[in-house]
Amino acid sequence: MTHGARIRGIGDYRPATVVSNHDMAAIVETSDEWIRTRVGIENRRKAGPEETVVTMGAAAAAKAVADAGVDVSDIDLVLVATCSLVGTMPHAAPRIATTLGIPSPGAVDLNAACAGFCYGLSFAADAVRSGTARNVLVIGSEKLSDITNWDDRGTCILFGDGAGAAVVGRADDGVEGIGPVTWGSAGDLSEFITMNDKLQMVMEGQSVYRWATGTLPGVVRQILDRTGMDAASLDGLVLHQANLRIIESVARTLKLGDDVVIGRDIIESGNTSAASIPLAMSSLRASGEVSSGDRLLLLGFGSGLSYAGQVVTCP
């Protein structure tokens, strides 16, 4: 028997420490004005020593499980999207599952950098539709402060820490809540975002910016085509929160109506890589800008250069 899939609940975790642009200006030669104008960020969060990919991911996941109203014993698979787990063994998913008391689920980490959450949603939806899993926890959790070069003003002002999560389960009413994924990559451009020998991020910002603004509108159109929707019937657009100018440029190119809500969590959270899309969804829901049943187009993109996106129904 096949089932539809939907997001049943979401959750987030934001570290308590807020780092403003003025705080950044005490670390590197920059200014609030430069950062706001070029990237749109005002604040970002920084995890403390006790806050890790595992603890933040578990906290966001616990909220998503409560929001979904599922029992942990009904979760069959835990997927953790992360690119900042320092020390890749043991991976994060089984440790998060244990923290939550989920009894022996399938547990795997996946790394598609900032696109990881949308890849995870797609894998989760397929597992639910095929009957392999009843419920899947999809978590994006990042402690990017661990892999940031705090001497490089071109990158350190961009990134933040945090986690977001979703429970994907059956759509018993038969209405599909997670649309077909559009994914792809441009490995020939992968030198645009890499790591140095100290395991710190290195980025060719302008090259990424040009690629993103040139490529992403076409990817959004493909997602809509595959879903059988036009842009006018979307309620919201939640792109990976890399740069407010990229988000607004894509929205302008697509000529989205004024009534389409746009995720702008980057202003308060910075770029949190795989966590940015569920964090942005959570903040839109918390502010009442989107509500249950709204159709949101999600699109993650980043190192690789990999991307993935789909239309989902807001829980």
Ligand X SMILES: CC(C)(COP(=O)(O)OP(=O)(O)OC[C@H]1O[C@@H](n2cnc3c(N)ncnc32)[C@H](O)[C@@H]1OP(=O)(O)O)[C@@H](O)C(=O)NCCC(=O)NCCS
Q: Helix 244-253 and helix 205-227: axis angle, to 10°?
A: 40
- The DSSP output letter for 290 is S
Q: Of 21 and 282, which has the nearer Cβ to ligand X?
A: 21
Residue from 83, 114, 118, 314 carrying the catalytic annotation: 114
For the CB of residue 152, give the shortest distance to ligand X in the complex, in Å: 8
By CB under 6 A, name the one of 43, 205, 213, 294 that touches ligand X.
Answer: 205
Q: Of 84 and 282, which has the nearer Cβ to ligand X?
A: 84
3 has catalytic annotation: no
DSSP lists the bridge partners of residue 4 as 171
Phi/psi at 299 (5° precision): -150, 115
Binding pattern for the stretch 173-202 against ligand X, x by CB under 6 A and - elsewhere: --------------------x---------
Block residue for tokens 């290195």? 202
Asked if 97 and 286 count as a contact pair (C-beta separation under 8 A), the reply is no
Residue from 21, 91, 240, 314 carrying the catalytic annotation: 240
Q: Would you mind telling me the total number of residues written for the chain in this entry?
A: 315
For the CB of residue 53, give the shortest distance to ligand X in the complex, in Å: 17
Q: What is the dihedral of CA 122, 128, 131, 137, to 10 degrees?
A: 110
In the complex, residue closest to ligand X by CB: 205
- By CB under 6 A, is residue 154 in contact with ligand X? yes
- For ligand X, the binding residues in 230-289 under the rule CB under 6 A are 242-243, 246, 271
For the CB of residue 281, give the shortest distance to ligand X in the complex, in Å: 18
Q: Of 175 and 199, which has the nearer Cβ to ligand X?
A: 199
114 has catalytic annotation: yes
Q: How many residues contact ligand X, by CB under 6 A?
A: 20
240 has catalytic annotation: yes
CA Rg value for the chain: 18
For the CB of residue 212, give the shortest distance to ligand X in the complex, in Å: 5
CB atoms within 10 A of CB 74: 15
- For ligand X, the binding residues in 9-48 under the rule CB under 6 A are 30, 34, 38-39
CB atoms within 10 A of CB 212: 24
Round to whole Å and give the CA distance between 5 and 105.
19
* Catalytic residue list: 114, 240, 271
